[in-house]
Each structure stands twice: as C-alpha cells, then as structure tokens.
Amino acid sequence: MAIFYSAATPGFFDDAIHADLPADAVAITAAHHRELLAAQAEGASIVADDRGKPRAHRPTVTIATRRAALIRAVKRQAARRIDAIAPIWRQLNDQRAPSEEGEARFAAIDAIRAASDAIEADIAAAAGDALATIDPAAHPLWPQD
C-alpha cells in the first residue's frame, strides 16, 4: 500500500483503493500524509511545490486578520449566550405578550449585547501582541450567568 498526491486533482490516492492514479501522482510516506492532514486540520492548506510534492501552506496571519477573527468569535459567543437565555421564538412571544419574566430576559440580552460591544472595542484598541491573549469565550466583560 502506497499513498500518492496529485497536484492536478488536488488529492491523495491510495493504490490499494484506486486502480487508476493521475499521471502527475507522486508517492509520499504515510508519516508525511499524516503530517499534512494534521496541518490541514489546524488551518493549513495542502499545495504542491514545483516538483508536485505536497506541502502544508500556512497563511500569514496579520493583525487585521486576527482582529477580525476575534470579533467574529465574539459575535458567535454573544449569539450563543442570547440563544441560551431566549431563542428567537421566545423573544417573539415575549414581545407579543409582555411579562416580568420577558422583561428580565430582554434585560439579560441587552447586557450581553453591551458586553459584546465593549469586548469588540477592546479588541479594536488592543495592541497586536495582546490579541493572542484575548479569549472571546472567557472574557471577563461577559455578564455572569
């Protein structure tokens, strides 16, 4: 059993499974195949070098890219927290039939939105090296449950 990589497809082939290999297929070791898949799982892409051999390409992460990823994570975290308090259907029902419980849910949602805005402002103002220390899920500005 041998593993091959084809830059034209781009994909991996196992000669025990694939009877016909692409013309540009090059053999790689099982260990190299595992390394490439692990790198891909961590966000790298697999590209061919000038000889057709596969290698992991890790995109350069700029400060702007890191900042944008953190802000997206904050928005996802806020949405998750809001949904845990009151999914959309509950919010709609609370608007149709106001109650003290509904008002309490809306107050909690407003607190999450305010925290999200404050965390995003922190991210926007943070120095590039400080971005690595920001954990959107465990940020201290989130309201306590």
- Give the start-to-end residue ranges of the domains of the chain: 3-57, 63-138
Give pLDDT, residue 60. Answer: 83
pTM of the model: 0.63
SS3 category, 32: helix
Q: Cβ neighbours of residue 103 under 8 Å, at least 6 residues apart?
A: 94
Distance of CA 38 to the CA centre of its chain: 16
Which of 74, 101, 79, 75 is closest to 90 using CA atoms?
101
Distance of CA 100 to the CA centre of its chain: 37
Do strands 3-6 and 26-28 pair parallel, antiparallel, or not at all (unpaired)?
Answer: antiparallel
Of residues 113 and 16, more confidently modeled: 113
Give pLDDT, residue 145. Answer: 67
- Is the pLDDT assigned to residue 1 strictly greater than 80? no
- Is the pLDDT assigned to residue 43 strictly greater than 90? no
Give me the helices (H) in the chain, please.
Answer: 30-41, 63-85, 88-96, 100-125
Give pLDDT, residue 116. Answer: 98
- Residue range 11-28, pLDDT digits in tens: 999 988 988 889 999 999
